[in-house]
Amino acid sequence: MSKELGLKIRSIRKQRKLTLKEIADATGFSISFLSQLELGKSSATLESLKKIAMVLHVSPGHFFDEEAPEQPGGSLMIDRIATSGIHYQNLAPGLDSLDFMPMRVTLEPGEDGGQPIIHSGQEFVYVLDGVLSVEVAGNQHELTKGESLFYSAQESHYWYNRSDADVVFLCVSSDTGKPSAT
């Protein structure tokens, strides 16, 4: 799967006319790591994929294929990071160069293995079902159905599901620090 993932990242990067250096500058990863990732010679964590996805302006689930049922309106919209217990549904499939990325996210019970990340822009989360734990700048927030939180993505943040049931929420991420093509 690493080789297929790397090929998708490279393909999107080239479509966006971005260099490895631009991606490295925007994510904080080394050019060497990104090159190895694109070649399928190294693997990525969920946190690193989220950072790369934000720079490429795609849902993190865009990197993974999954059979999905047809959704109303005729588009296939379910993306999944299968090994992590996190499921992303891109709510704006096929649209390029969005200033924001709307996603429906499902965290399986006990999903608590990630580490906080930092990236440019802002994020808004709105809980549809369950209890979502959000850490922002070291502060813990427990959100239940119908509750929301807006925060700067430039502060250390991460989502957790510390319950024994799925949590489903909307996440809208903006990216104010887009790299420019050279």
More confident residue, 49 or 59: 49
What is the SS3 assignment for the chain? CHHHHHHHHHHHHHHCCCCHHHHHHHHCCCHHHHHHHHCCCCCCCHHHHHHHHHHHCCCHHHHCCCCCCCCCCCCCCEEEECCCCEEEEECCCCCCCCCEEEEEEEECCCCCCCCCECCCCEEEEEEEECEEEEEECCEEEEEECCCEEEEECCCCEEEECCCCCCEEEEEEEECCCCCCCC
**pLDDT over 90 for what percent of the chain?**
30
Give the sheet arrangement for strand 157-160, strand by strand.
139-144, 131-136, 157-160
Q: Would you place residue 175 in the very low, low, confident or very high pLDDT band (cuts 50, 70, 90)?
A: low
> What pLDDT is attached to residue 23?
92
Mean pLDDT of 49-65: 74
Q: Which residue has the higher pLDDT, 9 or 49?
A: 9
pLDDT above 70 covers a percentage of the chain that reads: 74
Domain 69-174 has CATH 2.60.120.10: yes
Residues 130-142 have a mean pLDDT of 95
- Averaged pLDDT of the chain: 78
- Tell me which range, 87-91, 119-123, 151-155, is most confidently predicted by mean pLDDT: 151-155
pLDDT, tens digit, for every residue of 97-116? 567 778 888 888 988 756 77
Stretch 61-72: mean pLDDT = 50
Average pLDDT over residues 119-141: 92
Rounded to a whole number of angstroms, the CA Rg of the chain reads: 16
> What pLDDT is recorded for position 66?
41
Maximum C-alpha span of the chain: 48
Between CA 65 and CA 32 the distance in angstroms is 26
> Where do the structural domains in the chain lie, given as residue ranges?
2-44, 69-174
Band (151; pLDDT cuts 50, 70, 90):
very high
**Digit-coded pLDDT (tens) for 1-48:** 467 888 889 998 998 899 999 999 988 889 998 998 899 888 776 677
- Is there a contact between 76 and 93 (Cβ–Cβ < 8 Å)? yes
